[in-house]
Structure 1
């Protein structure tokens, strides 16, 4: 995070000063009603807004509580420990992002001076436009759709690791700045920024830790997606089945039940996406790219690529490369 912004967030604010003086129970600053443990949107958010930002209070622990809105917690520096639904312990580290849907409860350890996190409070209505930008049926899209419709989500939480995702970190920093300095058209800008952030996160299945999947079967599917994302060059259905100790027909059936692609279709999609990236972002010869992404049959790759993108790899590189460099022959 930008040094100036981080220094601003590190300053002890008025709420933290009150909490340190123990003037009233810490939850009372966020809930509606004396005995409530539900963080209330009407209490924590500015009037007539659908998204707002809070700096999570430091120096004292936050007792177990839930929210009547979607909470995104971004750890700007340091770390904090969360106990989710009284059973799942998670340490949120710098440059990690935690999605907590309505109804999920958590407690938070006492944060030190340099343990800085911001919390985005988001009402379901805010998510309609960002959701419209998500076309593929991914785990994240299903999660956001369920949150936007106030339905019970498949997962108790989503935990994203953004350490090597500079674009996502920049988007979160921009949202933080906009919310700290509200201006005209802020909501539209924030919705567009959120949409781009969700698009970036949607393609990073291997960057997600999923909380308490609703079934053992869904966990296997998520393991398959992470396996493909991280080992696409050498991945195969046979190898994954051997690791899981399950027959291939069982894994294939699960993929069809919980995911819009078969194992082989998603592996092909991941390899072609990587090929498209390498064609526009590197000077590598096309034949080298084909081998790099895990294909040995050049003719097969060219046929798949043209079917998917409607042009040859050479045509794709020429059309979408931003920087001029000598083209390589196919």
Structure 2
């Protein structure tokens, strides 16, 4: 453990000093503007950022509440006891708990040596991860699927518990994140975003390593085959050809893809074609018509319309913007 970081985190915050001086109720005005149900609001902490890191207040029980953001609890030192959807959860040093924005939990008071760090994460941050950490079509689509499996967007309360105290990689990332939190610099926010992205990827991998559900494994294998097919045949990809390769009906393939990715087969093919078109636009001297034909579009007007929907500009305007920037 970093002794300097530990000493810094032991220092009482203004909120903790008020509790020690006799304030025995959580000051809800710090957390929400609502007067009825206790929903902690991201606007109270995030301002214009996507992530905020703060130490959980010690010495007091925290009443039942939910959030309008995704929260991550990390036990830096000691233990942390809470009830999540009425289920007792006991975290020890090094453990991580992820909670989506639809779940309620109540927290037991931490002692002086119990140091818990709360990560307040705007849901939009996960779009940021996808756009910055996925390097290609297969990686992007698989990462999207994995994130959907981590954060179920059907508005039901969910949490994920990670007993990762023995993971040197994850603990090293957490240590770096806390240093950026405590010893702020001009690049801290950027570093925190990328380190958090790496942490999420490590947690996804950890989840896969411990996943014993054979259904989940078969789903991953199926999607890998789908994405690889599109990668190799995007110019003339069609559902019937994929179905034949998978020895299934086109109807079954279509339903599975929609259920697992929340996208249609046509959408996935289009995603790949436009990614290739963008790269040809940047790195080749091909004409717009040649690029459209190269990625599988005979109708150049249709290609222009799809490209603008995806990237916000026509291909010509997009390339001009890149040249001038």
The one-character-per-residue Cα deviations of 1:202-222 (angstroms, maximum 9, x if unpaired) are 2212676xxxxxxxxxxxxx4
Q: CA deviation at 1:16?
A: 0.4
Q: CA deviation at 1:177?
A: 1.8
**Does the aligned pair in 2 maintain the 1:39–1:68 contact within 8 Å?**
yes
2:120 alignment partner, SS class = strand
When residues 145 and 205 of structure 1 are mapped into structure 2, their CA distance, relative to the original with a 3 A threshold, is closer
Distance 1:139 1:162 in 2: 23
Structure 2 counterpart of 1:111? 110
Q: CA deviation at 1:157?
A: 0.5
Structure 2 counterpart of 1:10? 10
The one-character-per-residue Cα deviations of 1:57-101 (angstroms, maximum 9, x if unpaired) are 11111111111111111000111111112x211101100011011
Structure 1 counterpart of 2:43? 42
Structure 1 counterpart of 2:170? 168
Distance 1:200 1:4 in 2: 26
Q: CA deviation at 1:9?
A: 0.8
When residues 158 and 140 of structure 1 are mapped into structure 2, their CA distance, relative to the original with a 3 A threshold, is farther
The TM-score, its normalising length taken from structure 1, stands at 0.58
Distance 1:145 1:71 in 2: 12
2:82 alignment partner, SS class = strand
- Greater helix fraction, Structure 1 or Structure 2: 2
Structure 1 counterpart of 2:199? 197
Q: How many residues align?
A: 215
When residues 123 and 111 of structure 1 are mapped into structure 2, their CA distance, relative to the original with a 3 A threshold, is same
When residues 168 and 56 of structure 1 are mapped into structure 2, their CA distance, relative to the original with a 3 A threshold, is same
The one-character-per-residue Cα deviations of 1:97-155 (angstroms, maximum 9, x if unpaired) are 11011121101111111111000101122222323436335885224565xxxx33677
1:19 alignment partner, SS class = helix
When residues 207 and 164 of structure 1 are mapped into structure 2, their CA distance, relative to the original with a 3 A threshold, is farther
**Does the aligned pair in 2 maintain the 1:143–1:153 contact within 8 Å?**
no
Matches within 5 A, 1:37-116: 37-45=38-46, 47-85=47-85, 87-116=86-115
When residues 111 and 173 of structure 1 are mapped into structure 2, their CA distance, relative to the original with a 3 A threshold, is same
Distance 2:156 2:220 in 1: 16
Residues 175-184 or 199-208, more deviating: 199-208
CA RMSD of aligned residues (A): 2.7
Q: CA deviation at 1:27?
A: 4.8
Q: Give ranges in structure 1 of 5+ residues lacking alignment.
A: 209-221, 225-250, 266-330
Q: CA deviation at 1:39?
A: 1.0
Structure 2 counterpart of 1:20? 20
The TM-score, its normalising length taken from structure 2, stands at 0.59
